[in-house]
A and B are shown apart, each in its own frame.
Chain A
């Protein structure tokens, strides 16, 4: 089973990296750019079934380790076998 955890800076938290990338995109000619947020994707490969217990555990680990709720949001994506 493949799991992706998307971690992004919270909307109201300054994102210096996103601002710098946005600046570069603008100077390379991208018109109408309204915002850039730079985050990360963490890919996991886990054996076994997609169960509510596993989901609950993944939610907890995403909050405790993979993201910092003070500054980041996360989203889980669980793909089939």
Chain B
């Protein structure tokens, strides 16, 4: 595919990493990136929907519980069902879990504290593009969340492991997540969610620059040519 990849960053009322995500894809990766408002019923022809971090709808009731009913989420669901790429970062990950587009749920950190720190992450073998050969065995990405404690029942966890759906694990678990899970993908391999922020890890003044490689690895599931361009 030679046509340029188009990215849509979804803005909910209460999103606060929408500009970071925009900047990652527009400046960091040089891709055609635009915003989509949560009341829009389409993604404007984008190839990739990005749900950014923040506190969509105030995170009232549960994180992501109200956002999943925003009109745009119907378009995100259709996009995912047709094999389109979807990435949820932090609050975006919580929204995708609430929407049932990713398995599991995120609850209060076991420490009950908001954790804001750059984490060491172990890269899992989650497919031909997302593995320790393409990304290295360890990455560093910042987290900033109070509800990043990943939970899933035993049968669900077995499915995750068998299908190699775990993307990243914390080396030192900051939030009590089951099996130190920091990010997962769906079984089909087109929907991704992670608590760590690749959008806060690519500028020289950031604590890490590993965010670009992570974003590329996510995109490369559907757009393998992006890895060649960056080489």
Residue positions of A touching B, CB distance < 8 A: 9, 12-14, 16-17, 20, 65-66, 68, 70-71
Chain A residues, Cβ within 8 Å of B153: 12, 70
Chain A residues, Cβ within 8 Å of B105: 68, 70-71
Contact of A68 among B66, B69, B98 (CB under 8 A): B98
Asked whether, in the complex, the Cβ of B151 is within 8 Å of the Cβ of A14, the reply is yes
Q: Given the interface contacts A68-B105, A71-B105, A71-B107, does A17 sit within 8 Å of B112 by beta carbon?
A: yes
CA of A66 to CA of B69, assembled, Å: 12
Asked whether, in the complex, the Cβ of A68 is within 8 Å of the Cβ of B152, the reply is no
Q: Given the interface contacts A66-B61, A71-B107, does A16 sit within 8 Å of B69 by beta carbon?
A: no
Q: Is B65 an interface residue (CB 8 A)?
A: yes
Asked whether, in the complex, the Cβ of B112 is within 8 Å of the Cβ of A71, the reply is no
Which residues of B from 109 to 124 have beta carbons under 8 Å from A? Answer: 109-112
Residue of B97, B108, B176 most packed against chain A (CB within 10 A):
B108
Q: Given the interface contacts A13-B151, A14-B151, A17-B112, does A65 sit within 8 Å of B61 by beta carbon?
A: yes
Interface of B is mostly: loop
Asked whether, in the complex, the Cβ of B109 is within 8 Å of the Cβ of A70, the reply is no
Interface size on B, residues (CB 8 A): 20
Encoded as 1 (CB less than 8 Å from any A CB) or 0, chain B from 123 to 164 comes to 000000000000000000000000001011100000000000
Chain B residues, Cβ within 8 Å of A13: 107, 151
Q: Is B104 an interface residue (CB 8 A)?
A: yes
A40 and chain B: residue at smallest CB distance = B61
CA of A41 to CA of B109, assembled, Å: 22
Asked whether, in the complex, the Cβ of B104 is within 8 Å of the Cβ of A70, the reply is yes
Q: Is B34 an interface residue (CB 8 A)?
A: no
Asked whether, in the complex, the Cβ of A16 is within 8 Å of the Cβ of B109, the reply is yes
CA of A71 to CA of B156, assembled, Å: 13
Contacts A14-B107, A68-B105 aside, 18 further interface pairs with beta carbons under 8 A come to A9-B107, A12-B153, A13-B107, A14-B110, A14-B151, A14-B176, A16-B107, A16-B110, A16-B111, A16-B149, A17-B108, A65-B61, A65-B66, A65-B69, A66-B61, A71-B105, A71-B107, A71-B151
A17 and chain B: residue at smallest CB distance = B108
CA of A9 to CA of B105, assembled, Å: 12
CA of A12 to CA of B152, assembled, Å: 10
